[in-house]
Amino acid sequence: MDVIGFALPQTEGPDLERLIELPYQLRGPDGPLAATAGGADPGWIPPFRGETRRLLSAANPLLARSTARAFLAVDSDEAVARCVAIDDPELTDDGERVGLIGFYEAASDEAAAMALDPAVDWLRARGLRRVWGPMDFSIWHAYRLMTRGFDTEPFLGEPRNPAAYPEQLTRAGFAPVARWSSWDLARPHLEGMRQASHAMLRPELIAEGYRFRPIDLGAGFERDLEALFPVIRDGFSENFGYSPVPEGEFRAQFGGMRPFLIPQLSLVGLDPQGSVTGFGYVYPDVGPALRALEGDDGRLSELPRLLEQHPPERLVFHTVVFRADVRKKGLVPNGMSQTLDNVVEAGFTRIVGALAKEGPTFYDKTGAPTREYALFGREL
């Protein structure tokens, strides 16, 4: 077994193509990590190959400030593991720069070590003394590993990986440095959350002029993104692993959800002067339709038909964020009660409370989480 290393960004070349294609070979039909013989991993919604290619090319603005190197383990000229080591000077923890391991995939423990060891060595040689992963450049992109809940139905935006991956990182000296949880919730939970939010409603804030409106998916969508960017950026700045992202990259990530959003379920908060105070991001789970595309960007024209064949049956409660100066006013119940009223009116009976970080959450009273995730790290 050998390892191939090459600098990023790259736009073409056989090694880049093998790196991009590896997860489809491992998790697709008849792949060694497929959960059932002859069938692709049912817990995986394949990302679009074109988006992976963009992130590894100069089109990704984060590569303008970062230094990155890809590592591809090969056995008899067949790719068996991959990762990308990333040195982003904007990513720090307690004032110390942190390196990243992203785009992680491995067919076996031996293959994992072949890719991980030189990636860690490369980061150490650059003077880094701490590394986290998996994280594909930033928390604005894919990151974390699922550690519990592999028997659950995946949702769009969920970290989803073969069950062996956490143990592979553990054997490489990594351990969890932060954790998150998700909840699978049914109609009784939804009604309970709705009643709780109404009980905590702050009518005096409504009287002062604080309100919520649906996101504009029409001509005003770009204007809404422009207003939401500083609010979401500042809200995310308190998240573990945060690093700043250019506005264009924010638009690329959030703008991609535009075709799937239901306006009355994604509410923009406004203060008495009409300035944006926050955003609640709830979206229909279109994962089954996207999964059927098998990561092929060229088949996007099939999406309307696939959405008819696989209509969304549940919602994903993903992000609630507010401007720092209004965060303690108690606006969450007001926005949540309006959102939950709209959810019930839309007829959804299943929801996922997604990716809540450690600590008290709105979902705690519904019971224990059904899924758990971790970001791993090690000292170098």
- DSSP-derived 3-state class of residue 160: coil
Angle (CA) 157 163 168, round 5°: 110
- State the residue range of the domain holding 257: 187-348
Contact call for residues 193 and 336 (beta carbons, < 8 A): yes
Distance in angstroms (rounded) separating the CA atoms of residues 86 and 200: 44
Residue 74 sits in a domain of what CATH number?
A: 3.40.630.30
- Asked whether residue 118 falls in the same domain as residue 214, the answer is no
In a domain, 7, yes or no: yes
- DSSP-derived 3-state class of residue 52: helix
Distance in angstroms (rounded) separating the CA atoms of residues 182 and 184: 7
- Which are the contacts of 347, defined by CB distance < 8 A and separation ≥ 6? none
Across-strand partners of 93? 96
- Asked whether residue 158 falls in the same domain as residue 198, the answer is no
In a domain, 119, yes or no: yes
> What integer pLDDT is reported at residue 255 of this predicted model?
87
What's the mean pLDDT in 71-89? 97
> What integer pLDDT is reported at residue 42 of this predicted model?
79
231's tokens: 């609010």
In a domain, 358, yes or no: no
In a domain, 340, yes or no: yes
- Asked whether residue 120 falls in the same domain as residue 259, the answer is no
Query: Please, which pLDDT band fits residue 8 given cuts at 50, 70 and 90?
Result: very high
Distance in angstroms (rounded) separating the CA atoms of residues 31 and 24: 8
In a domain, 369, yes or no: no
Across-strand partners of 317? 282, 353
Q: Helix crossing, 332-346 with 187-199: angle to 10°?
A: 140
Last residue of some domain: 160, 178, 196?
178
**Comparing 43 with 274, which gets the higher pLDDT?**
274
Considering its fold, how many domains does the chain have in total? 2
Question: Which amino acid would we find at residue 314?
Answer: R
> What integer pLDDT is reported at residue 39 of this predicted model?
59
- Asked whether residue 157 falls in the same domain as residue 202, the answer is no
Contact call for residues 107 and 25 (beta carbons, < 8 A): no
In a domain, 328, yes or no: yes
- Asked whether residue 169 falls in the same domain as residue 199, the answer is no
- Asked whether residue 163 falls in the same domain as residue 269, the answer is no
Distance in angstroms (rounded) separating the CA atoms of residues 315 and 310: 14
- Asked whether residue 159 falls in the same domain as residue 227, the answer is no
> What integer pLDDT is reported at residue 41 of this predicted model?
78
What's the mean pLDDT in 268-290? 95
What's the mean pLDDT in 246-273? 93
Distance in angstroms (rounded) separating the CA atoms of residues 251 and 140: 11
Strand bridging mode 145-148 / 371-379? antiparallel
Q: Is the pLDDT of residue 36 over 70?
A: no
Last residue of some domain: 131, 156, 178?
178
Q: Is the pLDDT of residue 115 over 80?
A: yes
* Rg of the chain (C-alpha set): 21
User: In which residue are the tokens 């002029």 written?
Assistant: 209
- Asked whether residue 128 falls in the same domain as residue 21, the answer is yes
- Asked whether residue 171 falls in the same domain as residue 211, the answer is no
In a domain, 375, yes or no: no
Angle (CA) 194 198 199, round 5°: 115
Question: Which amino acid would we find at residue 216?
Answer: D
Distance in angstroms (rounded) separating the CA atoms of residues 28 and 278: 39
Across-strand partners of 372? 148, 181
Q: How many CB atoms lie within 10 A of CB 139?
A: 18
